[in-house]
């Protein structure tokens, strides 16, 4: 009796550079868990191709002709809401990162990363988890650095229920790059209360700092 193998994750690439499309397509097709089902050089071409075969994951550049990546992201979410979008770009500025996440991107990966980071991002997002590469996380959370020599305790399965709903809400907003002042205004709380939540989150997750707390929460699907 034959055993059915898991179906590869269908991936599409949207980028206006043909050489980049060819290179990433070859890279991903060499991974047995993935299959490139479409490659487009514009948002309009992507929408047309996806009508024929809808991918599970889309790698989307920000610098696009006619309509930029954020506009294309809007189009994709409107026409194919089930698609999970990972921004794959050179843009590492805070406003671009925040706006893409606000518009529904599930991941944000910089092109300076190696293939292992990209493959990991795709598989994480395919599993329903958000993924931000380490540099993006540092940009979002203000380049916080762990103390020298500090160790990190792993997050165990029993830790998943440690955070209260309010703490998860605060951590979600922190992951979007919002400051304590921003969060306080949005949740109608004092800045001191938000800072207390930050400290409690770090302590409960055994994290080194808030950056590690966000990374661990993303990996475990807590936010």
In tens, the pLDDT along 148-160 reads 433 444 444 444 5
**Yes or no: is domain 9-140 CATH 3.40.50.2300?**
yes
pLDDT at 142 (0 to 100):
66
CATH T-level fold of 157-220 = Arc Repressor Mutant, subunit A (1.10.10)
> Which residues of the chain carry a pLDDT beneath 50?
1-5, 143-159
Q: What share of the chain is helix, strand, coil (3-state, %, to 5)?
A: 50, 15, 40
DSSP labels for 99-129? HHHHTT-SEEEETTS-HHHHHHHHHHHHTT-
Domain with CATH 3.40.50.2300 in the chain: 9-140
pLDDT at 140 (0 to 100):
80
Distance CA 194, CA 115 (A): 37
Q: Model-level pTM?
A: 0.71
pLDDT at 147 (0 to 100):
42
Distance CA 105, CA 73 (A): 8
pLDDT at 31 (0 to 100):
92
Contacts with 76 (C-beta within 8 Å, 6 or more apart), sequence order: 43, 46, 47, 50, 58, 60, 83, 85
Contact 86, 131 (CB under 8 A): yes
Domain with CATH 1.10.10.10 in the chain: 157-220
pLDDT at 80 (0 to 100):
94
Contact 71, 44 (CB under 8 A): no
């Amino acid at each position: 009796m034959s055993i059915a193998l898991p179906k590869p994750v269908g991936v599409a690439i949207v980028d206006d550079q043909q050489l980049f499309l060819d290179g990433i397509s070859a890279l991903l097709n060499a991974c047995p868990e993935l299959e490139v089902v479409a490659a487009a050089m514009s948002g309009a071409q992507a929408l047309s191709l996806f009508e024929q075969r809808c991918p599970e994951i889309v790698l989307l550049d920000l610098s696009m002709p006619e309509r930029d990546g954020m506009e294309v992201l809007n189009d994709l979410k409107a026409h194919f809401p089930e698609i999970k979008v990972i921004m794959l770009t050179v843009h590492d500025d805070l406003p671009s990162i925040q706006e893409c996440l606000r518009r529904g991107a599930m991941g944000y990966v910089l092109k300076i990363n190696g293939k292992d980071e990209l493959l990991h991002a795709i598989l994480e997002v395919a599993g329903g988890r958000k993924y931000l590469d380490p540099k993006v996380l540092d940009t979002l959370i203000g380049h916080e650095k762990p103390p020298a020599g500090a160790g990190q305790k792993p997050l165990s399965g029993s830790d998943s229920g440690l955070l209260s709903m309010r703490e998860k809400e605060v951590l979600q907003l922190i992951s979007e790059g919002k400051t304590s002042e921003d969060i306080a205004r949005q949740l109608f709380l004092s800045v001191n209360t938000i800072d207390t939540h930050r400290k409690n989150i770090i302590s409960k997750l055994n994290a080194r700092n808030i950056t590690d707390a966000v990374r661990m929460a993303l990996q475990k699907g807590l936010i």
